[in-house]
Structure 1
């Protein structure tokens, strides 16, 4: 089994993938030593997944402080033949690290992933206000690139990364716990090629991307009313530009429940009638195991009873005579 992740090694995404493999049933990870392949972007990993070079990939999708990870959301929305099969969460903490012990006042450049930068911007403004902020493809890449510089090149430079990355690349930790919000968590999704939906557990999420009719006022309200009328709660909704022209947006939505739940299936059918595009991305177990509270008129038995009732009524309809016999 070959798994891709946003690399290099020791990123939070790498940690999420290791967690997923450790928790997966043995029959789902047949190799004693699965191949874990780092990528510089989610888009590159997705291309290899579609091409068959990977069996699955792990990607960050949202952070409790910064919200959705746009790079992942856009790739998922634009790719038809993939399915989310699992999720993981990783507590996030950052350190400021350098090649050697350095006074904060002597730092001129601090590099990290933009999402990490946003989570430590308050600390950086207060403690290293004179340093330029540079972007890296990941927090671990910032640490790796800094470690690869010679001492002269690394003078005045630092990286915001995980404690594990700083330790792995032999960097000196200048400050710990520099995140602006303690207890931040990032959520990751495990993605495979289309074709396998995990069985319902009772504590599940369903992820879809929908495009609303652009020439129909109140379309978003109609979509939300479809979910509400079927007792389907949203745990996340985010808008992303479609990209064809200004003002066109799709909505990435996490729903509480599984495709196998009658209420979720009914809501998706109605969304499919309303929306020109409904991109189903998967139903999968919630990592927190939380089960939604479902009203008795939205449980499966209620939908089944209503369907049976209509079928009995339909059986009472008088058949139309054959026109040729009239």
Structure 2
């Protein structure tokens, strides 16, 4: 039995991402029979990561980046806190929201709106315009907001609504009061599939590598120095975010996505250089990009260029006379 954790309950965007990942595996001929799959809803990424490390889960799907809100701090912090888990795949899910209720009602009858804080942030413009007097309540997920509304007592459902996905509204039998209420049309969330530390997926030519680095806090220009190492090796960054280390004010680690795979010579060289100058470099994984975009190396940074340079230095070194 293979156990996959996801932020529950069913019909969350994380659940959708996991279903996408399982479909993608099936399309590549690595299908797991349904009777050997167990999809396990979890309450938080931190709790699920602990279950993953303990062996109670075999993999975990978690949100890492939203096109509107940026990095998902809870996931970034969990990934940075342990060396025992590795990202092996990613999925991207389009994000659209509806306003749902137990029974049909006019918008001027809405008294409260429940949803996850990330979802609230993505519909705040619509809420201010259409429901300026409604109370905003936090929920652990968009699906949990829909579920709690669906199963509450009828008298408690009066005036209550939930911001959730169309799938959640349909699944829990809610009435949709408004469609497409997100402020940014075309928003997306990127999710990562995480497993206990193990083998790294082979290079595909369209890959992403995720790392976390800590900088020397007492050296001016430490961040610039680290970034220049990427540039010196022709490695492009697609995301960089700072997160507090938690041990003192003003101390931060940096979560970074780079284009390329650990097998790429330019990525290897950049990681070696970072390892020399950074107090800590935490490798989180090299894995295929969801969009299949090729991470083509600039001229002079192809694998062959690095191999040629290594051979040139080896030949030069062979000319060194032995010490007398």
Match of 2:239 in 1: 236
| TM superposition shift of 1:154 | 1.1
Match of 1:119 in 2: 122
Match of 1:192 in 2: 195
1:177 aligns with 2:176: no
Match of 2:78 in 1: 75
Q: Which runs of 5+ in 2 are unaligned?
A: none
Match of 1:64 in 2: 67
Match of 2:15 in 1: 14
The 2-side partners of 1:222 and 1:57 are apart by 34
Q: Secondary structure at the match of 1:202?
A: coil
Q: Secondary structure at the match of 1:187?
A: strand
| TM superposition shift of 1:196 | 1.3
The 1-side partners of 2:31 and 2:257 are apart by 27
Match of 2:141 in 1: 138
The 1-side partners of 2:34 and 2:66 are apart by 32
Match of 1:282 in 2: 285
Give 1:300's match in structure 2, choosing from 300, 303, 316: 303
The 2-side partners of 1:62 and 1:295 are apart by 27
1:207-246 to 2 correspondence within 5 Å?
A: 207-246=210-249
| TM superposition shift of 1:28 | 4.2
The 1-side partners of 2:200 and 2:30 are apart by 13
The 1-side partners of 2:323 and 2:85 are apart by 46
Q: Secondary structure at the match of 1:24?
A: helix
Match of 1:43 in 2: 46
1:250 aligns with 2:253: yes
TM-score (norm 1): 0.96
| 1:169-202 alpha-carbon deviations (Å, 9 max, x no partner) | 1111110000001011110000001111000000
Give 2:153's match in structure 1, choosing from 130, 150, 155: 150
| 1:264-298 alpha-carbon deviations (Å, 9 max, x no partner) | 00000001111101110000000101112322210
The 1-side partners of 2:44 and 2:5 are apart by 10
Asked if structure 1 preserves the Cα contact closer than 8 Å seen for 2:45 and 2:75, the reply is yes
The 2-side partners of 1:28 and 1:244 are apart by 43
Asked if structure 1 preserves the Cα contact closer than 8 Å seen for 2:115 and 2:163, the reply is yes
The 2-side partners of 1:286 and 1:215 are apart by 36
Asked if structure 1 preserves the Cα contact closer than 8 Å seen for 2:94 and 2:187, the reply is yes
Give 1:92's match in structure 2, choosing from 95, 99, 124: 95
| TM superposition shift of 1:255 | 0.1
The 2-side partners of 1:243 and 1:70 are apart by 13
Q: Secondary structure at the match of 1:183?
A: coil
TM-score (norm 2): 0.97
The 1-side partners of 2:33 and 2:249 are apart by 47
Q: Secondary structure at the match of 1:199?
A: coil
The 2-side partners of 1:306 and 1:264 are apart by 16
The 1-side partners of 2:7 and 2:283 are apart by 23
| 1:113-133 alpha-carbon deviations (Å, 9 max, x no partner) | 111000000000111111111
The 1-side partners of 2:276 and 2:140 are apart by 40
Q: Secondary structure at the match of 2:57?
A: coil
Change (3 A) 1:27 1:46: farther
| TM superposition shift of 1:32 | 3.1
The 1-side partners of 2:197 and 2:248 are apart by 29
Q: How many residues align?
A: 321
Computed over aligned residues only, the root mean square deviation of the Cα atoms, in angstroms, reads: 1.1
The 1-side partners of 2:50 and 2:286 are apart by 22
Match of 1:2 in 2: 3
